[in-house]
Amino acid sequence: MAHPDEFKGPEADALPDTATLPAEFAALYLCMSPAQLADLRKSKRPDGRAGNGPPVIRPVEGGAAGPKDPLLYTLGTLRDFAKAHTAPTAFDTALNSGMLGWVSAKLPFFAELEPRIKRGRRVLIGGAWDRADPLREKRFTELARGRIRFTSLTCAEAAGSLWADVASHSALAEKGLALLRSETQAIEVSLAATAALAAASNPAAAA
C-alpha cells in the first residue's frame, strides 16, 4: 500500500509517481487481473514467449523482503504502461458483451469501506475499471489510504446495490434497462412472427 508520507494534505487528489501500490491494487489500476499482472512480470523474449529478456513490467526492487511480503509497483511505472496500452480491456469487453456479460462477468467497483448503518448493504461509488472517470485517480488515493475499498460484482448485482449518488447509479442502471428493453423487443418481434407464421399455415384457424 502507498506510504502515507508520499501524499500529504487533504488537497492531494492524485498519488505521485513515486507512490507504490501492492500487486492487487496495481492490477486494478491497469484494469487487469492479478494473474495477468503476474504474467507481465515474467522474463520475455522479443517474440513475447518466456525467456531471458526483460519483463514487460517490473515491481520495485527490494520491495518484498520476504516471501510473504507483497510485491510493490511504483505508480509512475503503472501510468506509463497504461498510457502505452489504451486498447479496450477485458472489463470493457465484458461491459459491452450484452446481457450475458451483464449478468455473469465480474467487474471491480469502488465501494464505501463499511456498510451503511442499519442497512447492512454495501454502498458503491463507481466503476474501478473506468479509465475515463475524472475521479478515478482521487479514488485510488482514497483506496491507498484505506478510506474506501473495491469489490467485484456483476453489473446486474451492482445495479441492484445501493450507490453513494443517484447520477452514477443511473448511468449504470440505464445500460441494463436498455439491454432489457432490447431483449423484450426481440421476444415480442419473435412472438409476432410466430403468430404470423401460424396464421399463414392455417388460415381457417386464424379466421
Each residue's pLDDT, cut to its tens digit, for the chain (207 residues) gives 444 444 443 334 678 999 999 999 999 999 998 898 988 887 665 555 655 556 678 888 655 555 566 789 999 999 999 999 888 888 888 888 889 899 999 999 999 988 776 566 789 999 998 888 889 999 999 999 999 999 999 999 999 999 999 999 999 999 999 999 999 999 999 999 999 999 888 776 655
3-class DSSP assignment, residue 85? coil
**Stated pTM of the model:** 0.76
3-class DSSP assignment, residue 172? helix
Q: Nearest 10 degrees: CA dihedral of 143, 172, 32, 74?
A: -30
What DSSP string runs through 20-47?
EEEHHHHHHHTTS-HHHHHHHHSEE-TT
* Strand blocks (E) in 75-190: 106-112, 123-127, 148-154, 162-163
C-alpha cell at 123: 454502498
Q: Where are the domains of the chain?
A: 1-86, 88-207
